[in-house]
Structure 1
Amino acid sequence: MDTHAQSRSTRPQIKRLHHAAYRCQSSEDTRAFYEDFLELPLAGALKITQTKTGRQTEVLHTFYQLGDGSHLAFFEAPDQPFEFKSQHDFDLHIALEVDPTHLQHMLQKGKEQQIETRGPSDHGFIDSIYFRDPNGYVVELCAKKPGHDEHLKLNNTDAKKLLDQWNKASVK
């Protein structure tokens, strides 16, 4: 039996996201957005003064906890150049699940606080709203709609067909 086919037919062995990490320009501005606005508690911080290769540095690594126990994390590394730019949704965005009531609450809160706020957008299987954090990253809040689990499922043959069609059409 093909071991790859066998592994694809079972649930993934990677349990869940522990954290996704991004650069930030200011740990305090980032904290204000993620903790004060999005209401994700600051759950940890780590000051890094030396890399594993022995280079001296001055980096702050912060962690904001989501409801499932996973984290969004940020590195403020002033001594390491990084190009911060406003990201397009297709380039990079962070999507976080909320319930429909909270989605509406956050839409209103974003507008009231004059944070760049877009949406709602109906994607068929989710409704989404979008904000831009102080680092230029797009943050999407999304609420599941009926049919969500059918749209995103293990061994999704419709997704595989669409990907195959896309790949065949884009062959140069």
Structure 2
Amino acid sequence: MRKIQVQGVHHITIVGSTRQSALDFWEGVLGMPFIFEQPNLGKADESHLYFDPGDGRLLTVFTNEERVDARRPAPREVGSMEHLAFNVSRATFTQVPARLRERGIDFIERDRGFMNSIYLQDPNGMKVELACYKFETPEGHRAADVLMRAHQLRVERGDHHIGDEHLADAIEDLLAERERLEH
């Protein structure tokens, strides 16, 4: 049987509470430009708000003025989404803790070996991650190329997780391979 080949995320849709709550968080806190609003064509009592998460794709939120913010952690069970991650630059990442504290938003910061992460919750308890790779992707490659090679090096060396040395060596390997192919 032939598989269906996807080409990236088209959009993500979240069930939100009110229009203002969605605008305050997605545009106000996370800086995603609000693009437009229209009725939810599949559910007449909801509006459908569209935001740009920074890569030209879409994040959308279903809202209904009868709902209130859940203000509790979202369910974490089989079939649920654990979290939604967004890329931020290193410069922005270093500013996130202070900016969240200014707004009274709780967060957790983690070093993931190959990236740094800050986790917070939207007004309905959905976990949101702001992630920043610890490397610059070499021209002509994707971040996934660097990570696949770094993982391979980590496994070959018997290391617990991907670290800076794996990333540096992976980038060096990718650039050397490109050099060999060009000559």
The 4+ residue runs of structure 1 with deviation greater than 6 A are: none
Cα distance in 1 between the residues matched to 2:84 and 2:36 = 20
Judge conservation of contact 2:74–2:124 (CA < 8 Å) in 1: no
Cα 1:60–1:151 shift into 2, 3 Å: same
The count of residues paired between Structure 1 and Structure 2 equals 141
Matched residues in 2 for 1:107 and 1:92: separation?
A: 22
Name the structure where strand makes up a greater proportion of residues: 1
Letter of the 2:105 partner, please give it: I
Instruction: Give the TM-score normalised by structure 1.
Output: 0.68
Q: Which of 50, 70, 74 pairs up with 1:87?
A: 74
Contact 1:23 1:77 in 2 (8 A): no
Provide the C-alpha distance between the structure 2 equivalents of 1:105 and 1:61, rounded to a whole number of angstroms.
31
Could you list the runs of 5+ residues in structure 2 that have no partner in the other structure? Answer: 138-142, 154-183
Bigger relative contact order, structure 1 or 2 (CA pairs below 8 A, ≥6 apart) = 1
Partner of 1:14: 6
Q: Does 1:140 align with 2:133?
A: no
| Percent identity for Structure 1 against Structure 2 | 23
Q: 1:65 aligns with which of 43, 52, 62?
A: 52
C-alpha contact 1:128 1:141 (8 A) present in aligned 2:
yes
> Aligned pair in 2 of structure 1 residues 153, 46: CA closer, same or farther (>3 Å)?
farther
Is 1:116 matched with 2:106?
A: yes
> TM (normalized to structure 2)?
0.64
Q: Mapping of 1:1-172 within 5 angstroms?
A: 13-48=5-40, 51=42, 57-77=44-64, 85-87=72-74, 92-119=82-109, 121-146=110-135, 149=144, 152-153=147-148
Contact in 2 for aligned 1:87/1:136 (Cα 8 Å) = yes
